Amino acid sequence: MTEQNGFSDSTSSSTSFQSTEAMLKSLKQTRPWARLIAVIGFISLAFMVISSLVNILAIGKITEKGIFVMVSGLYLVIGLLYFFPSYYLYKYASSITRLLDGGGAVEMETALSYQKSFWKFTGILVLLSVVVALLGIVAAIIIPRFV
């Protein structure tokens, strides 16, 4: 087992880990920001669902229904995508609270697991967004040539 930067490096799953005051202070300072971003995400989700429902209710009064159906569907999909990172951040912040209240290694593992899930989901979403943007650029170049 080697020690580097205060962390034990071992392939054993029973590695002893001792948190420091600086680690706990950093987590304590991170918690309100994670919770704030999670709450803003949930509020955004609510607005998107409400906007989608308003669009669905307005469809009957609009002659061009196709665009409203697409916008409503898009808002629902984006709202669904907002849910998961908001949920992971909220659970991360809650786990930090339990850790600081004496939860120990179990709560540290739980917090880090939610943080990992947040970053994994966000990373996949960013990659997907880049692919969609690139496809949009290619479509914007190719489609006018055929019209």
Buried b / exposed e across 122-142, counting CB within 10 Å, b at 16+? eeeeeeeeeeeeeeeeeeeee
pLDDT in tens, 55-86: 777 776 666 677 777 878 888 888 888 899 99
pLDDT in tens, 32-53: 999 999 999 999 999 988 888 8
When the pLDDT of each residue in the chain is averaged and rounded to a whole number, the result is: 85
User: What is the percent of the chain with per-residue pLDDT over 70, rounded to a whole number?
Assistant: 85
pTM of the model: 0.77
Quick check: 20 and 8 in contact, CB under 8 A?
no
Instruction: Reply yes or no on whether the pLDDT at 7 is more than 70.
Output: no
Quick check: 143 and 114 in contact, CB under 8 A?
no
Domain boundaries, the chain: 22-146
Q: How far apart are CA 13 and CA 87, in angstroms?
A: 28
Question: Which residues lie below 8 Å from residue 71, measured CB to CB, with a gap of 6+?
Answer: 52, 55
